[in-house]
């Protein structure tokens, strides 16, 4: 019973971590940056210093994680908790306002969101009253500027900072940095972005108010570091299983859990020692160095694992409560599949023929083409094939220009209208793209480009389930 509970808890904890809703047990390789960000925030809170900084780094390197970790840490230290209602003696040490450039797409919206978050914190009454940007900005500013160093510090987190820099006039950034510099109300502005040149996006007047503190995060540089990060995400901790040291009511239960944790983490280590598994991870590392690549692998693995014994979760826990390397192999393969070829496997023979015709055209340096040209090429081939075929073999499927090729497959020249449908289907699957944005006139004559390499087309022909040899030979011809 206890084990089942453990497994369920462990699973949901790990999944939450993989989905990046929960933080991993430890920061690996980012301690330096974390310390700096934390101390910056701390100084704002403790000394009332105003600060600004930027966190830069490629996607998936842990920028947001650092910020979140720092915030949880501060929360712990300065004790503003979710149940602020109970202790409303005003002892709130700091506030956090989180904005995201993707969500707050212009300054007006951002301002509204700031107001909303402020008013929810019970700090300002102006929440819903001011609706226009020109109204609310001054009121926010007077509100902020009227404050003194003794005011509660506010920490602004600007995720996707580069998008804020693209707002007209950058007035939000300007005002925030301005407040930060004028040292009235203690605020910390922390920008997070994946654009390394984010600083260059700032206007001069904004830039000059920015403190020019930036911290960089990088993907793990060596495979060893990468593995460490990955491993870290799979470990479970006491907190994950809801072990509370305080209540010693369920002693025995706790013991089981601790044993489980130890065992589970040992298995995770074993997992990473497994050769096949290491190969899969190494491949991801070589391809992108992105921790999220590994996360996705794990998520797909969970998919597969739960497939095998979906219904009763209890069954799963008894038979295989730990992660096994073999489970990862399949999902590793699944991830590697090129979905384009996968889609192409399902196209019909007519569409394949058109693709080959296109390939023939492209090889003759005609990179843009229209349906008529492709159909003409296809017709040329079919004419020769039918002429050649009808002399050697009998006509199959009655009349109508169809013939049976050497391997017993009937080939036939399709009418233009049918071929046009197939051509449109290719365009719908975005294997073909219009060459110029707006071309008028009948669609048969619209110039198109192919989005595949000619080698890719040959590949498709090879992989196609039942491609007659005559077509395959045509595809190979130059």
Partner 1 sequence: MELTPQEQLHMAFPGRSRQIDQILGFMGEPWAPTPPAMLINGNSSLGKTAVVKSILSTMLGHTTPSRYAFLDCVECHTPRLIFEHAIYQLQNAPKKTRLTTCAESQQEHGTLDGVKDSSWTTTKDAVQAQASNTTRPGREPRKRKRAVSHEQPIWSKCENVNEFVEWCRKICDSDTPQAQETSGVTYGGSSRKQDTRYLILDRAERLRDTAPALIPVLMRLQELTGRNICVILITTIVWEKFRSKTGGYEPIILNFPQYSKAETIAILKRDLPVGGDEELYMRFVDLVYDVFQRNCKDLNEIRHLVALLYPLYIKPIKEGKAQRSEALKLHKHIQAYFVEAMDKLYLREISSAEWSDRTLASSAGSHSGKIDSTLGDSASRRLAIGAPGSERAMMTAVDVQNTFDLPYYTKFILIASFLASYNPPRLDMRYFAKVSNQGGKMTKRAKQSAAKKHGHDQMGSKLRQQLLGPKTFPIERMLAIFYSILDEDVEENINVHTQIASLVSLRLLQRVTPMDKLDSIKCKCSVSYDTIKTLAKSTKFEIDKYLYDFV
Q: By CB under 8 A, what part of segment 255-274 binds partner 1?
A: none
The interface mask with partner 1, positions 136-175, x = CB under 8 A, is --------------------------x-------------
Q: Are 187 and 176 in contact (CB under 8 A)?
A: yes
Using CB under 8 A as the binding rule, whether residue 462 contacts partner 1 is answered as no
CA distance 440 to 351: 24
Q: Which stretch binds partner 1 (CB under 8 A): 47-55, 145-153, 265-273, 335-343?
A: 335-343
Q: Are 7 and 321 in contact (CB under 8 A)?
A: yes
Cβ at position 75, least distance to partner 1 in Å: 7
Interacting positions 376-405 with partner 1 (CB under 8 A):
376-377, 397-400, 402
Residue 444 CB partners (closer than 8 Å, separation 6+): 370, 371, 372, 420
Q: Which of 78, 133, 302, 322 binds partner 1 (CB under 8 A)?
A: 302
The interface mask with partner 1, positions 171-210, x = CB under 8 A, is -----------------------xx---------------
**Structure tokens of 315?**
């069954």
Closer of 161 and 260 to partner 1 (Cβ): 161
The interface mask with partner 1, positions 44-63, x = CB under 8 A, is ---------------x----
For tokens 């601790």, the residue is: 258
Q: Which of 47, 103, 462, 476 binds partner 1 (CB under 8 A)?
A: 103
CA distance 473 to 360: 12
CA distance 123 to 109: 19
Closer of 347 and 385 to partner 1 (Cβ): 347
Q: Which stretch binds partner 1 (CB under 8 A): 33-41, 112-120, 215-223, 386-394?
A: 112-120
What is the maximum alpha-carbon separation in the chain? 98
Cβ at position 400, least distance to partner 1 in Å: 4
Q: Which of 149, 250, 306, 477 binds partner 1 (CB under 8 A)?
A: 306
State the DSSP code for 444.
G
Interacting positions 230-259 with partner 1 (CB under 8 A):
242
Closer of 209 and 403 to partner 1 (Cβ): 403
Closer of 209 and 446 to partner 1 (Cβ): 446
H-state helical runs in 275-415: 275-288, 291-308, 313-319, 325-336, 339-345, 349-363, 371-392
The interface mask with partner 1, positions 442-461, x = CB under 8 A, is x-xx----------------
CA distance 475 to 458: 6
Half-sphere exposure of 477 (CA within 13 A, CB side): 12
Residues forming a β-bridge with 448: 369, 434
Interacting positions 74-93 with partner 1 (CB under 8 A):
75, 82-85
Strands 214-216 and 51-56 turn out to be parallel
Closer of 142 and 308 to partner 1 (Cβ): 308
Total residues in contact with partner 1, by rule CB under 8 A? 96
Instruction: DSSP for 220-284, please give it.
Output: -SSHHHHHHHHHHHH---TTTTT--SS--S-HHHHHHHHHHHHHHHHHHHHHHH-HHHHHHHHHH
Count of Cβ atoms closer than 10 Å to residue 316 Cβ: 19
Cβ at position 346, least distance to partner 1 in Å: 4
Half-sphere exposure of 476 (CA within 13 A, CB side): 8
Q: Which of 146, 196, 287, 303 binds partner 1 (CB under 8 A)?
A: 303
Half-sphere exposure of 321 (CA within 13 A, CB side): 22
Q: Which of 36, 213, 214, 296 binds partner 1 (CB under 8 A)?
A: 296
Cβ at position 209, least distance to partner 1 in Å: 25
Using CB under 8 A as the binding rule, whether residue 478 contacts partner 1 is answered as no
Q: Which of 366, 387, 462, 476 binds partner 1 (CB under 8 A)?
A: 366
Closer of 121 and 228 to partner 1 (Cβ): 121
């Amino acid at each position: 019973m206890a084990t089942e509970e453990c497994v369920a808890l462990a699973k949901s904890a790990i999944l939450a971590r993989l989905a990046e809703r929960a933080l991993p047990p430890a920061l690996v390789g980012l301690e330096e940056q974390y310390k700096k960000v934390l101390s910056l925030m701390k100084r704002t809170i403790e000394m009332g210093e105003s600060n600004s900084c930027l966190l830069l780094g490629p996607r998936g390197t842990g920028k947001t994680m650092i910020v979140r970790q720092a915030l949880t840490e501060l929360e712990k230290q300065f004790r503003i908790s979710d149940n602020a209602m109970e202790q409303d003696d005003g002892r709130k040490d700091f506030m956090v306002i989180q904005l995201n450039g993707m969500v707050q797409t212009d300054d007006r919206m951002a301002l509204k969101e700031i107001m909303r978050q402020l008013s929810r914190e019970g700090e300002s009454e102006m929440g819903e009253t001011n609706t226009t940007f020109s109204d609310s900005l001054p009121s926010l500013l007077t509100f902020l500027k009227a404050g003194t160093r003794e005011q509660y510090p506010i920490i602004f987190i600007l995720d996707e900072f580069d998008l804020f820099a693209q707002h007209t006039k950058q007035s939000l950034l300007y005002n925030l940095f301005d407040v930060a510099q004028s040292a009235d109300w203690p605020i910390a502005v922390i920008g997070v972005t994946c654009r390394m040149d984010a600083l260059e996006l700032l206007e001069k007047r904004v830039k000059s108010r920015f403190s020019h503190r930036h911290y960089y995060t990088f993907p793990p540089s060596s495979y060893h570091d990468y593995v460490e990060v990955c491993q870290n995400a799979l470990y479970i901790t006491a907190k994950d299983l809801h072990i509370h040291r305080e209540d010693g009511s369920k002693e025995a239960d706790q013991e089981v859990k601790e044993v489980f944790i130890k065992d589970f983490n040992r298995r995770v280590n074993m997992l990473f020692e497994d050769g096949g598994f290491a190969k899969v991870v190494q491949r991801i590392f070589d391809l992108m160095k992105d921790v999220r690549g590994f996360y996705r692998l794990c998520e797909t693995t969970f998919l597969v694992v739960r497939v095998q014994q979906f219904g009763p979760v209890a069954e799963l826990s008894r038979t295989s409560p730990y992660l096994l390397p073999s489970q990862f192999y399949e999902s590793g393969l699944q991830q590697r599949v090129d979905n384009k070829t996968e889609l192409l496997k399902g196209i019909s023979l007519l569409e394949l023929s058109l693709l080959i015709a296109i390939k023939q055209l492209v090889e003759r340096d005609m990179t843009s083409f229209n349906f008529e040209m492709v159909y003409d090429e296809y017709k040329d081939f079919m004419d020769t094939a039918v002429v050649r075929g009808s002399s050697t073999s009998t006509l199959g499927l009655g009349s109508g220009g169809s013939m049976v090729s050497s391997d017993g497959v009937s080939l036939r020249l399709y009418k233009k209208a049918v071929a046009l449908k197939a051509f449109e289907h290719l365009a719908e699957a975005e294997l073909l793209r219009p060459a110029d944005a707006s071309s008028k006139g009948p669609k048969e004559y619209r110039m198109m480009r192919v989005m595949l390499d000619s080698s890719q087309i040959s590949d498709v022909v090879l992989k196609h389930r039942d491609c007659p040899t005559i077509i395959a030979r045509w595809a190979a011809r130059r």
